[in-house]
């Protein structure tokens, strides 16, 4: 059985584009909305693509900007300039 | 005393405004850009027709021959509404201020070869007036355009054009004070090399159809004039010690890319809407693009010498490729 990875973001204007991008790029992901934050769970692996976020936010997005809205993260991180991948290293 | 801490969730009754939810077909959170743009302009229940144009309602989609089922298709990919626009441009203008300081402290404009200083006074400073023309065109699009999606972006573009004119003005003041700007106006009004462009800009001010004006200004004129001046002329200046000028003009280089992104997105949506729109826009392109090229030829020759016509032909080729990507088929004249 694959366990879930998760990312939790604040419920802000910028985060909305990140959440939309994650949901578009990870069909298996499920989203739970809370009053001030949004938790996204995904079995196995979850990817955040810079290009997907940029096209939704209307400007060049630097993946490091995500930290301004990041509450929590669960999984091992593999990150470069273009994408951030969460997974569990077996 | 036992203290029990509980969280309780308050479910908000609406995620966005009712008119936005109707448009989406569901009540989901909308972005600030969407909330500040969609269906902002009144569409019905106009009482009096404007005295200055009794053929039309105050907001009237028939002021252009382009037809859109939904004018809010013409949205801005940069998602500029007041606050994102002002924040973005304030960052860009901070950079201009820093560059001006940097160049000023090192007297870099005075260090340009004297011959090229004269050349900069000739090719750059009169452009203030061309930018003012572009400002008027963008204002007119904001005035008579239809739908807040296009009019909002147009008035931002109008402010940008004033900003560019001001940057050119600052360069002029740094290169010879108010007299340099007065002399540049004389060049704009009287120099034979500038008259074709001045005539073109003045003709564009009185284009009846605002969408044609948009195609003329933001695709045809900007598509040739901006790369000619801020890429080709600027590169030529490097050989004459004008790198300081390049730093200040970086705003225009960035802006050109930013504006092209918006222009292309708007034209793309309008062209994909119908064959009729496509033919209309292609027709306007075929009229204005050659006129811009003819108007720029004397400037290109004057600044770049013998290479001028080749550089201009190259820029026309680039613009034709950009237009072809939008679906505007190359005309026989361009490919010849």
Q: Kindly report, residue by residue over B30-64, the tens digit of the pLDDT.
A: 889 999 999 999 999 998 999 999 999 999 999 99
- Using a CB–CB cut-off of 8 Å, the residues of B that contact A are 9-10, 29, 31-33, 76-80, 84, 88
Cα separation, A42 vs A2, in Å, equals 10
Percent share of chain B, pLDDT over 90: 90
Contact between B79 and B88 under an 8 Å Cβ cutoff? The reply is no
Distance CA B319, CA A54 (A): 25
Q: Is the pLDDT of residue B302 over 50?
A: yes
Q: What is the mean pLDDT of residues A52-67?
A: 92
Instruction: Find the residue in A nearest to B262 (Cα).
Output: A58
Number of H-type helices and E-type strands within chain A: 2, 7
Residue B95 pLDDT: 96
- B164 exposure class (CB count in 10 Å sphere: 0-12, 13-18, 19+): buried
pLDDT score of B129: 97
Name the residue among B207, B220, B227 with its Cα closest to residue B323: B220
Token duo for residue B268: 């793309």
- Does A59 contact B at CB distance below 8 Å? yes
- Please check whether residue B214 is in contact with residue B158, taking contact to mean a CB–CB distance below 8 angstroms: no
Residues of A in contact with B33 (CB under 8 A): 58
Distance CA B252, CA B23 (A): 37
Neighboring chain A residues of B9 at a CB cutoff of 8 Å:
34-35
Nearest CA in chain B to A19: B29
| B193 has a pLDDT exceeding 50 | yes
The number of CA neighbours under 13 Å toward the Cβ of B169 is 13
CA B302/CA B304 separation, integer angstroms:
6
| pLDDT of B215 over the 70 cut | yes
Q: Is pTM beyond 0.90 here?
A: no
pLDDT of B290 over the 70 cut: yes
Q: What is the pLDDT of residue B334?
A: 45
Strands A70-74 and A30-33: unpaired
Question: Of B125, B115, B109, B123, whose CA–CA distance to B232 is shortest?
Answer: B123
Cβ within 8 Å, pair B9-A34: yes
Which of B9, B29, B84 is closest, CB to CB, to A16?
B29
Query: Distance from CA of residue B324 to its chain's centroid?
Result: 20
What's the pLDDT tens digit per position in B232-274?
Answer: 999 999 999 999 999 999 999 999 999 999 999 999 999 999 9
Q: Are B237 and B120 in contact (CB under 8 A)?
A: yes
pLDDT tens column, A46-57: 999 999 999 998
pLDDT more than 90, % of chain A: 78
How far apart CA A48 and CA B281 sit, in angstroms, is: 38
Q: What b/e readout covers B286-318, taking b as 16+ CB neighbours within 10 angstroms?
A: bebbebbbebbbbbbbbbbeeebeebbeebbee
What are the structure tokens assigned to B326, written together? 């939008």
Predicted confidence at residue B336, as pLDDT, reads 39
Q: Shortest CA distance to B187 belongs to which of B232, B113, B125, B234?
A: B125
Distance from CA of A13 to the nearest CA of B (A): 7
CB atoms within 10 A of CB B36: 17
- Unique residue bearing structure tokens 């973001």: A9
List the single residue in A13, A35, A59 with the smallest CB-CB distance to B32: A13
For residues B297 and B310, give the distance between their C-alpha atoms in angstroms, rounded to a whole number. Answer: 10
Describe the crossing of helices B250-273 and B148-174 by its angle, rounded to 10 degrees.
160
| Average pLDDT across chain B, whole number | 94
**pLDDT value for B51:** 94
Cβ <8 Å between A35 and B88 = no
| Contact in structure between A53 and A17 (CB atoms under 8 Å) | yes
A18-56 per-residue burial string, b: 16 or more CB within 10 A, e: under 16: bbbbbeebbeebeeeeeeebbbbbbeebbbbbbebbbbb
Q: Residues A25-34: what's their mean pLDDT?
A: 92
Where are the alpha helices (H) located in chain B, listed in sequence order?
18-24, 32-37, 82-105, 114-123, 127-144, 148-174, 177-190, 195-205, 210-214, 222-227, 234-238, 243-248, 250-273, 275-304, 308-326, 332-335
Question: Within an 8 Å CB–CB cutoff, is residue A34 touching chain B?
Answer: yes
Closest CA to A23 of A60, A52, A66, A65: A52
Q: What is the pLDDT of residue A1?
A: 62
């Amino acid at each position: 059985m694959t366990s879930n990875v998760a990312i939790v973001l604040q419920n802000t204007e910028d985060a909305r584009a990140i959440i939309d991008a994650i949901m578009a790029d990870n069909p298996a992901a499920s989203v739970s909305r809370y009053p001030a934050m949004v938790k996204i769970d995904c079995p196995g692996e979850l990817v955040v693509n810079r290009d997907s976020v940029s096209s939704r936010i209307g400007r060049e997005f630097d993946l490091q900007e995500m930290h301004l809205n990041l509450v929590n993260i669960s999984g091992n991180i593999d990150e470069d300039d273009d994408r951030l991948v969460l997974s569990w290293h077996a | 005393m036992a203290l029990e801490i509980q969280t309780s969730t308050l479910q908000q009754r609406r995620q966005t405004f009712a008119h936005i939810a109707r448009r989406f077909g569901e009540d989901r959170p909308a972005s600030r850009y969407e909330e500040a743009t969609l269906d902002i302009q009144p569409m019905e229940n106009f009482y009096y027709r404007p005295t200055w144009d009794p053929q039309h309602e105050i907001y009237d989609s028939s002021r252009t021959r382009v037809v859109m089922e939904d004018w809010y298709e013409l949205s801005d990919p940069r998602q500029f509404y007041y606050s994102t626009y002002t924040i973005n441009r304030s960052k860009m203008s901070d950079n201009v201020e820093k560059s001006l300081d940097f160049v000023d402290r090192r007297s870099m404009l005075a260090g340009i070869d004297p011959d090229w200083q004269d050349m900069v006074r000739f090719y750059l400073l009169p452009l203030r007036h061309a930018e003012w023309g572009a400002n008027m065109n963008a204002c007119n699009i904001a005035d008579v355009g239809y739908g807040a999606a296009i009019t909002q972006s147009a008035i931002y573009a109008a402010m940008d054009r004033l900003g560019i004119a001001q940057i050119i003005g600052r360069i002029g003041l740094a290169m010879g004070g108010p007299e340099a700007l007065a002399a540049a106006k004389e060049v704009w009004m009287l120099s034979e090399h500038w008259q074709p462009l001045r005539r073109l800009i003045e003709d564009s001010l009185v284009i009846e159809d605002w969408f044609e004006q948009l195609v003329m200004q933001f695709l045809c004129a900007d598509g040739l004039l901006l790369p000619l001046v801020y890429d080709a002329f600027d590169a030529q200046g490097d050989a004459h010690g004008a790198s300081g000028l390049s730093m200040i003009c970086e705003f225009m280089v960035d802006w050109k890319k930013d504006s092209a992104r918006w222009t292309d997105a708007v034209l793309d949506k309008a062209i994909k809407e119908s064959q009729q729109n496509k033919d209309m826009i292609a027709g306007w392109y075929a009229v204005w693009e050659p006129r811009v090229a003819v108007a720029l030829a004397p400037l290109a020759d004057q600044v770049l010498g013998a290479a001028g016509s080749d550089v201009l032909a190259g820029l026309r080729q680039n613009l034709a490729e950009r237009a072809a990507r939008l679906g505007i088929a190359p005309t026989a004249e361009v490919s010849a």
